[in-house]
Amino acid sequence: MEQDSHCTAERELLEAVSRITTSSTTSPSDEEENEPKAEISCQVRKENPEKDDMQDSSATLSPNSSMTTKELQEYWRNEKRQCKQIKLLFEIPSTRIVEHHLSKYVMYKIIILQTGSFDSNKSIIERRYSDFEKLHRNLMEEFSEELEDVTFPKKTLTGNFTEEIINERKLAFKDYLRLLYSMKYIRRSKKFIDFLTRPELQEAYGCLRGGQYTKALEILLEVIGLQERLTRGNPVAIVPTLCAIVVCHKDLENPASAFEYGEKALSRLCVHTSHRYYMPLLETMIALAYELGKDFLSLQEKLEEWKTKKDPIRVFTLKELAVREYVR
């Protein structure tokens, strides 16, 4: 009886896993179902972002699977994790009034959360009304049709610093960001991503150029997670940030950490060997591997292979490239 019960449990678990696997490959995601219809007109745009990175499992289980119940449970958990798309939520819990010389403005604290994650995956940034206004103006240049029904909070001649107006704008900006993120082509646009990450990156690179590597590293590590989640369809986009982290760790004499982030950057360039960061990164990784006593022959072979394919031109070092990023 106990054996029959065990077999029945395994059979039910197999059927459940089979249903999850089938649904993950045939059913549209909640995100696609909830896409605003205005996005249909975006299909003819010049830009061609990659498809959503929903990781559908190609593995299937046969009814005669030899997996144990424990293995099946672990398989089921992995399937659910793979089918789950990363989505971001935006909250604006508080504000602060800034008075600087002759100017006075409100800073809105924006908390960006990843669905189904712990607090460690949240990002916190601050933006003022003029930042939102500039974003909207820039997006209207490219996405006027998608945004034609979007109401943007207008400036008022008086009362901008009253609690009532500030609270109204908090709610309005929260809904505005949520709406923008719900539109595939807008959330993948450089203008939207820059709004959420560029000010922090500019500050970090400014610190790097000034030799403030600890401060630069602190900011870069804060922003890299958000930048990565925003550019999931374009992994090469975060290579400069990863390389800046490598530079900071290297100059702070943390070769092991520098090598770790260098490997992450290099993995994103494996099919993009013409990228401007590829050769300088290889050279840096060879030096780090030698310092750490790691095997660097494969890296050296890649570097020699690259040199045979390219004309001998002036190539910057990794640090020289990093300090040139975000120079106004």
What's the full length of the chain, in residues?
328
CA nearest neighbour of 33 among 4, 54, 49: 54
C-beta pairs of 110-117 under 8 Å, 24+ apart in sequence: 110/173, 110/177, 112/88, 112/196, 112/226, 113/88, 113/89, 114/86, 114/87, 114/88, 114/89, 114/229, 115/86, 115/87, 115/88, 115/89, 116/84
pLDDT tens digits, one per residue of 96-109? 999 988 889 999 99
Residues 219 and 209 sit within 8 Å (Cβ to Cβ): no
Q: Give the domains, in start order, of the chain with CATH numbers.
A: 87-188 (3.30.1520.10), 197-324 (1.25.40.10)
Determine the Cα angle at 41 with ends 40 and 46, to 5°: 115
pLDDT tens digits, one per residue of 168-202? 999 999 999 999 999 999 999 999 999 999 999 99
pLDDT tens digits, one per residue of 120-138? 678 999 999 999 999 999 9
CA nearest neighbour of 258 among 245, 241, 270, 269: 245
